[in-house]
């Protein structure tokens, strides 16, 4: 096990699994420019690590919040141009999380509000502690979500439910988040991180090139028409037949043994 730290980010490597913790507890892990830049540096380093990451867990430090939103104190004085730059920074970083070659599980332990909800939505899926709360409350501040919430939320839960949440700014529970498809499951708070780590570890035993290809196909094909999206799938499927992992996986099946994948 290895640990790396930036001012507001802590990374623990457990073999092929990385656990990333946002740690700015005095501000409920709110996202300011420094936290966002720390996240960008962290994910970039993990994507290019000599010891490949095969799955990651993203969570927040403390008992109260995953991420309670963007830093309102910092945002309150922004000009129009500065606001555009800040939103663009958030969009770039969240898009880079979606584009990672490995899955990221959001382990939401408390409040995931505004930018925190948007950050969770950029992850592959969400496990929520039983005390988790989700909201896009930006209309209460005179603005709208600025890190992709108007787009990712609608794609995750459907346009009607996203409109209701964004127009009202209402907060929902973990159970409601699962009911509408925002989160995958509710986990007792004390078990959240272990469940997320166990799921990441399970993913890490699968063929990493295949997991990456599945992630790419779903991300790139989701907004396309079915015919175009299926064409993407064909390309990704066929390309894996040039990998040693495909040979190993199919031979292991035929030989009735556990496959040993190398990511090649």
Taken as a whole, the chain contains a residue count of: 264
pLDDT per residue as tens digits for the range 109-158 = 999 999 999 999 999 999 999 999 999 999 999 999 999 999 999 999 99
* Cβ atoms of residues 17 and 204 within 8 Å: yes
For residues 241 and 210, give the distance between their C-alpha atoms in angstroms, rounded to a whole number: 10
Q: What is the mean pLDDT of residues 6-18?
A: 93
List the domain boundaries for the chain: 2-204, 208-254
- Domain 2-204: CATH architecture, name and number where available: Alpha-Beta Complex (3.90)
Same fold: 2-204 with 208-254? no
pLDDT per residue as tens digits for the range 21-62 = 999 999 999 999 999 999 999 999 999 988 899 999 999 999
> CA angle, 93 as apex, 25 and 69 as ends, to 5°?
35
Backbone angles phi, psi at 118, to 5 degrees: -65, -40
3-state secondary structure of 70: strand
Which residues are known catalytic residues?
A: 118, 138
Tell me yes or no: is domain 208-254 CATH 3.30.590.10.
Answer: no
Nearest to residue 101, comparing CAs of 59, 52, 147?
Answer: 52
pTM for the whole structure:
0.93
For residues 255 and 54, give the distance between their C-alpha atoms in angstroms, rounded to a whole number: 25
For residues 127 and 132, give the distance between their C-alpha atoms in angstroms, rounded to a whole number: 10
Please give the full DSSP string across 189-235, using - where no structure is assigned. Answer: GGGHHHHHHHHHHHHHTS-HHHHHHHHHHHHHHTTS-HHHHHHHHHH
């Amino acid at each position: 096990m290895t640990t790396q730290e930036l001012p507001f980010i802590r990374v623990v490597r457990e073999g092929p699994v990385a656990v990333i913790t946002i740690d700015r507890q005095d501000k409920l892990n709110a996202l300011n420019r420094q936290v966002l830049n720390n996240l960008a540096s962290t994910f970039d380093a993990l994507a290019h690590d000599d010891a490949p990451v095969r799955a990651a867990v993203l969570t927040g430090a403390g008992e109260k919040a995953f991420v309670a939103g963007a830093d309102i104190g910092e945002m309150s004085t922004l000009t129009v141009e500065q606001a555009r730059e800040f939103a663009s920074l958030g969009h770039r970083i969240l898009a880079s999380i979606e584009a990672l070659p490995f899955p990221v599980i959001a382990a939401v332990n408390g409040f995931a509000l505004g930018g925190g909800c948007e950050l969770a939505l950029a992850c592959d899926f969400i496990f929520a502690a039983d005390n988790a709360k989700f909201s896009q409350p930006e209309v209460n501040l005179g603005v709208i979500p600025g890190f992709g919430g108007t787009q990712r939320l609608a794609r995750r839960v459907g346009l009607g439910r996203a409109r209701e949440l964004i127009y009202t700014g209402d907060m929902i529970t973990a159970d409601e988040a699962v009911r509408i498809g925002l989160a995958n499951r509710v986990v007792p708070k004390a078990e959240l991180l272990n469940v997320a780590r166990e799921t990441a570890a399970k993913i890490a035993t699968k063929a990493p090139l295949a997991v990456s290809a599945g992630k790419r196909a779903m991300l790139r094909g989701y907004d396309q028409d079915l015919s175009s999206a299926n064409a993407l799938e064909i390309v990704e499927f066929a390309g894996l037949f040039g990998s040693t992992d495909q040979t190993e996986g199919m031979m292991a099946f035929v030989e009735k043994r556990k496959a040993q994948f190398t990511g090649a």
